[in-house]
């Protein structure tokens, strides 16, 4: 019951509360350049997608922790989730700075990611659940790298945030591999890529 209450609290905080980062925002250490209207809209759309990714990361880790059988692994998942909270706060702040907004479908994205994380842990066990972490973080890393190329050259603030997020995602994947993750079958990876494509395409605008 306590675990379920914590999962509910995590969902409410992710979707409706102002996230608080435990680390300084990487954007605070760079000199922000002036963006024109087109650049601002482009950066806002990309950072909205990144914000959705962090909403999904919170949901995925919460679902996995709820299903996790190993207390030590549950603690590792909780630590990774705390780092993802930093990302959530940073991307939210950047959207505010760009006078843009989060996706209107965040509750839907959260529910889907939570269901995947919980099902992976319950049906496949901890090693399969960790396999989802590895594959998710690999795909997110590639996605963030593409955003480094797509962000306006003048948007040094967003670029600093995305760069730190990318480094953290690599560390999360390595954590999962060291904890005993199994490699997911190719069809599952393809399905995850297709789902991510739908999410990023819709979140670009909605």
**Residue 50 has what pLDDT?**
95
Q: Which tens digit of pLDDT belongs to each residue from 119-174? A: 888 888 888 888 888 998 899 999 999 999 999 999 999 999 999 999 999 998 99
Q: How far apart are CA 172 and CA 137, in angstroms?
A: 7
Q: Tell me if 79 sits within 8 A of 16, measured CB to CB.
A: no
- Mean pLDDT, range 9-33, rounded to an integer: 88
Where is pLDDT greater, at 166 or 204? Answer: 166
Q: Residue 16 pLDDT > 60, yes or no?
A: yes
**Residue 90 has what pLDDT?**
97
Q: Which tens digit of pLDDT belongs to each residue from 71-110? A: 888 888 888 788 889 999 999 999 999 999 999 999 999 9
Q: Residue 7 pLDDT > 80, yes or no?
A: no
> Which range among 5-9, 37-41, 170-174 has the greatest average pLDDT?
37-41
Q: Residue 3 pLDDT > 70, yes or no?
A: no
Least confident of 10-14, 23-27, 41-45: 10-14
Q: Residue 13 pLDDT > 90, yes or no?
A: no
**Residue 28 has what pLDDT?**
93
**Residue 51 has what pLDDT?**
96
Pick the closest to residue 93 from 161, 37, 143 (CA basis).
Answer: 161
**Residue 176 has what pLDDT?**
87
Q: How far apart are CA 173 and CA 27, in angstroms?
A: 24
Q: How far apart are CA 190 and CA 57, in angstroms?
A: 19
Q: Residue 4 pLDDT > 80, yes or no?
A: no
Q: How far apart are CA 203 and CA 118, in angstroms?
A: 23
Q: How far apart are CA 23 and CA 156, in angstroms?
A: 19
Q: Structural domains in the chain?
A: 2-7+37-203 (1.20.1260.10)
């Amino acid at each position: 019951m306590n675990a379920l209450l914590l999962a509910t609290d995590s969902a409410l905080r992710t979707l409706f509360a102002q996230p608080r980062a435990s680390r300084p925002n990487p954007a605070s250490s760079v000199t922000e350049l002036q963006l024109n209207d087109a650049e601002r809209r482009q950066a806002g759309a990309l950072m909205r997608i990144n914000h959705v990714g962090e909403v999904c990361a919170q949901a995925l880790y919460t679902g996995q922790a709820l299903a996790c059988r190993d207390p030590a692994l549950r603690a590792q998942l909780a630590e990774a989730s705390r780092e993802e909270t930093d990302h959530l706060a940073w991307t939210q702040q950047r959207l505010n700075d760009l006078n843009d907004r989060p996706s209107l479908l965040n509750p839907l994205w959260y529910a889907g990611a939570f269901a995947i994380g919980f099902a992976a842990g319950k049906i496949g066990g901890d090693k399969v659940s960790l396999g989802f972490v590895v594959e998710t973080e690999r795909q997110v890393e590639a996605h963030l790298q593409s955003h480094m190329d797509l962000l306006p050259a003048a948007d040094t603030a967003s670029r600093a945030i995305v760069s730190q997020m990318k480094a953290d995602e690599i560390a999360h994947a390595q954590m999962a591999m060291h904890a005993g993750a199994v490699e997911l079958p190719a069809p599952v990876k393809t399905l995850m890529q297709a789902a991510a494509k739908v999410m990023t395409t819709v979140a670009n605008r909605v």
